[in-house]
Chain A
Amino acid sequence: MTEQTTVAPGDEATGMQTSGGQTSAQRTAARGGVAGAPLLEVDDLVKHFDIRGGLLGVSKLGAVRAVDGVSFTVKEGETLGLVGESGCGKTTLGKVILRLIPPTSGSVTFEGKSLFDLNARQLKAARRDIQVVFQDPYASLNPRMSVGEIVGEGLYVHGMTNKRERESAVRELLKRVGLNQQHIHRYPHEFSGGQRQRIGIARALALRPRFIVCDEPVSALDVSIQSQVLNLLSDLQDEFQLTYLFIAHNLAVVRHLSSRVGVMYLGKLVELADADQLYESPKHPYTKALLSAIPIPDPTVRRERIVLKGDLPSPANPPSGCRFHTRCPMAQEICKIEEPPLRDVGDGHMSACHFAEDVTPLHERRSSAQA
């Protein structure tokens, strides 16, 4: 149907190797169809939260630099994963993109239109296209509204005022996300965590958006429920040609769903690459350490473990030069002084490290017998 699909088989022979079958590009092609055209562009986005204090509590004492100059593009039909530890700014970034909080500077454009220049009416229209699924299925649903009201609210706001029409639309949505249609009049507390997350997904889908920000959609769920919701998200992506920005701290979950992955550290994007490339040959020492820290659910695999020293520095007072230099096992003198730009280190693999070329892949050892 598109050149992406026709190119894909050739990819297998020449291009990126994978461990489990398809390449990310193939997956994107299979899923979204026309992956390639940029849908969302984030350019030098900055969000600082002022720290105020003093006698009247109005003088500015400093700023928490939650997001500090982040740029990336999300292509139509793809899933861009965004990972990082708590406090790295990934959730703030999502909220700024959704215009839930105003940016300090920078721009976000959706289909070429700047989201920050929209007036109220235009913003409302844009919100049909851009939706969100939140992390906490307990806190993100109004306990006083029935499922029908929660899922149907967006439809009402955007003009579907006929009650019967709305109800049938909601029933259709509930069915699609795997909930019982009879439960339309029930309230959130009557559902389990996984079911609530399905309600949140139905709400996000109601207006047939093109782009959904998923902010830790499965981290509050039990393991067996997590896989159900992840499968649902990828089915819906196929069916409705959705584009996802998938924010999570669990790298395994992100790898499963994403075609490209960005890694954040202290408000900066430090690496951005095709998912397979990023996981198989990380080009930033932070990414490598992060990957090495994840325990593999297989007792016969022993993987190189890089234990980072110390804690995350405060985003109110980030280190000079490269923000990772205080914990980086590869740090040199230059890292304290000069901030490395995010640059292409080959094949579109972006890394913000002075020594990106020297980062080696993780060692992994499989043993079979000894205890």
Chain B
Amino acid sequence: MTATARSVGPLLEIKGLKTHFFTQDGTVKAVDGVTFEIGHGQTLGVVGESGCGKSITSLSVMRLIERPGKIVDGEIALNGDNLLEASDEEMRDIRGDQVSMIFQEPMTSLNPVFTCGEQISEAVQQHTSASSREGMDRAIEMLALVGIPDAKRRAHEYPHQLSGGMRQRVMIAMALSTDPDLLIADEPTTALDVTIQAQILEVMRDLRQKNRMAIMLITHDLGVVAEMADEVVVMYSGKVVERGDVRTIFGNPHHPYTKGLLSSIPRLDERVERLEVIKGTVPSPYNLPTGCLFKRRCPYRMPVCEVAPPYQKIGEEHHSRCWLTPAGEPPEVGADASGEEAERAGELLTVEPR
């Protein structure tokens, strides 16, 4: 792909991000060393179950983490600027202008006492020198763009007068009204019916092409990811466990968690007598296991898993946080681990998986 994109560097670059919550019951490492980037115009799917840290990662990018949460380490660069060093003032300009976000629940994200048009217009006026009339014109234009019929009339209606699908369109219209480079969509269709979801995904696909906008799509629905994403990041307990091109992740997953996820969903196009399961539950964030976070649920568990596995490159643009070799075999020695870790790994390693 694109020599141009590489020469200007990625749009969003997250390096070693750690967002922790300091609660009365202890520290929750909601995001613990997350690294990935999104290129211009690319769609990245972020997948994982509740509590894996996918939403906190996106809120960290928006700098919307509230106490007791805190970004304790790492770097988030958007267009080369480190967002973690931006002042609150600068951040307000960046939000909406360069990066916008839409949330899962469109009813709670819209203000019930302003009309849809006013809310979009406000965003436009914040970020441009537009007058309120120009803002409203832009709002109507955007509402039409996301496929709301009779946009002029709808612009003067309040959120409660619209259906769930319509509200999510209003959210998208608002997010896109300032032409951001990056749209963060956090479970944008989870609250919607499938036929409405299909409409919204179509709108997003359309606009992505027209505006050459990058999307960070956070979802637990693997079907939506398969359809929308170029690249996929799989998260588990605050860490990225696997990352790769969408076809690689779905066609040739490496991490046992990714494999488990893919085989445990009932499929419409295939019938199985019995579903595969990932046994057990996600570990409590207050009491994470040592070593590999997935080991208690992992069918490939080996002694070496007592040591945190390296995030190793296993193929072209394909990384996985697992001790298994790129071919999926138990490793001979502590593979790519370094120093002390490798030593311990070597000690613990036996070739037979348990």
Give chain A's interface residues, CB within 8 Å of chain B: 18-22, 27, 85-86, 192, 194-195, 222-228, 230-231, 234, 249-253, 255-256, 276, 279, 289-301, 305, 307-308, 310-312, 364, 371
Q: Which of A27, A224, A255, A295 contacts B260 (CB 8 A)?
A: A224
Known: A222-B49, A231-B277, A293-B195. Is A252-B247 also a contact (CB below 8 A)? no
Known: A249-B194, A293-B198, A308-B195. Is A223-B261 also a contact (CB below 8 A)? yes
Contact in complex: B264, A226 (CB < 8 Å): yes
Which of A276, A364, A371 has most chain B Cβ within 10 Å?
A371
Contact in complex: B195, A192 (CB < 8 Å): no
Contact in complex: B273, A21 (CB < 8 Å): yes
Known: A19-B270, A295-B227. Is A256-B193 also a contact (CB below 8 A)? no
Known: A291-B268, A298-B250, A299-B250. Is A227-B276 also a contact (CB below 8 A)? yes
Mark interface residues in B268-279 (1 if CB within 8 Å of A CB, else 0). Answer: 111111111111
What residues of chain A lie closer than 8 Å to B276, measured between beta carbons?
Answer: 227
Nearest B residue to A23 via CB reads B271
User: CA of A292 to CA of B269 in the docked complex: distance in angstroms?
Assistant: 11
Known contacts A19-B269, A311-B163; 8 additional CB pairs below 8 A are: A18-B271, A227-B266, A227-B275, A289-B195, A294-B268, A296-B268, A297-B250, A299-B226
Min CB distance, B19 to chain A, in Å? 21
User: CA of A338 to CA of B49 in the docked complex: distance in angstroms?
Assistant: 47
What residues of chain A lie closer than 8 Å to B260, measured between beta carbons?
Answer: 224
Contact in complex: A297, B49 (CB < 8 Å): no
Q: Which of the candidate stretches B59-67, B84-92, B208-216, B217-225 sits at the interface with the other chain?
A: B217-225
Contact in complex: A295, B224 (CB < 8 Å): yes
User: CA of A58 to CA of B29 in the docked complex: distance in angstroms?
Assistant: 56
Q: Which of B220, B226, B262, B264 contacts A295 (CB 8 A)?
A: B226
B343 within 8 A of A: no
Give chain B's interface residues, CB within 8 Å of chain A: 49-50, 149, 163, 165-166, 193-199, 201-202, 220-227, 246-247, 250-251, 260-262, 264-279, 281-282
A-B contact pairs, 24 of them (CB 8 A): A21-B271, A85-B194, A222-B220, A224-B261, A224-B264, A224-B277, A227-B264, A234-B274, A256-B266, A290-B194, A290-B195, A296-B267, A297-B265, A299-B226, A299-B247, A299-B251, A300-B247, A300-B250, A301-B269, A307-B195, A311-B163, A312-B163, A364-B269, A371-B247
Known: A256-B271, A296-B223. Is A311-B165 also a contact (CB below 8 A)? yes
Contact in complex: A311, B247 (CB < 8 Å): no
Contact in complex: B166, A311 (CB < 8 Å): yes
Known: A222-B49, A290-B195. Is A297-B223 also a contact (CB below 8 A)? yes
Contact in complex: A255, B281 (CB < 8 Å): no
Contact in complex: B201, A295 (CB < 8 Å): yes
What residues of chain B lie closer than 8 Å to A231, measured between beta carbons?
Answer: 274-275, 277
Q: Which of A226, A230, A295, A371 contacts B223 (CB 8 A)?
A: A295
Nearest B residue to A24 via CB reads B271
User: CA of A291 to CA of B267 in the docked complex: distance in angstroms?
Assistant: 12
Min CB distance, B17 to chain A, in Å? 23
Q: Which of A19, A227, A312 contacts B277 (CB 8 A)?
A: A227
Nearest A residue to B230 via CB reads A371
User: CA of A276 to CA of B277 in the docked complex: distance in angstroms?
Assistant: 23
What residues of chain B lie closer than 8 Å to A20, measured between beta carbons?
Answer: 270-273
Contact in complex: A223, B166 (CB < 8 Å): no
Known: A22-B273, A291-B268. Is A85-B223 also a contact (CB below 8 A)? no
Nearest B residue to A303 via CB reads B269
What residues of chain A lie closer than 8 Å to B271, measured between beta carbons?
Answer: 18-21, 255-256, 276
Contact in complex: A311, B275 (CB < 8 Å): no
What residues of chain A lie closer than 8 Å to B197, measured between beta carbons?
Answer: 293, 295
What residues of chain A lie closer than 8 Å to B270, measured between beta carbons?
Answer: 19-20
User: CA of A333 to CA of B164 in the docked complex: distance in angstroms?
Assistant: 30
User: CA of A148 to CA of B324 in the docked complex: distance in angstroms?
Assistant: 43
Contact in complex: B265, A223 (CB < 8 Å): yes
Nearest B residue to A314 via CB reads B163
User: CA of A230 to CA of B268 in the docked complex: distance in angstroms?
Assistant: 15
What residues of chain A lie closer than 8 Å to B251, measured between beta carbons?
Answer: 299-300
Min CB distance, A12 to chain B, in Å? 14
Which A-B residue pairs are the 10 nearest by beta carbons? A20-B271, A295-B223, A256-B266, A85-B193, A293-B198, A227-B264, A297-B222, A224-B278, A227-B275, A222-B49
Q: Which of B223, B250, B273 contacts A294 (CB 8 A)?
A: B223
Q: Which of B49, B246, B247, B272 contacts A224 (CB 8 A)?
A: B49
User: CA of A304 to CA of B153 in the docked complex: distance in angstroms?
Assistant: 33
User: CA of A289 to CA of B196 in the docked complex: distance in angstroms?
Assistant: 11
Min CB distance, A119 to chain B, in Å? 40
What residues of chain A lie closer than 8 Å to B195, measured between beta carbons?
Answer: 85, 289-290, 293, 307-308
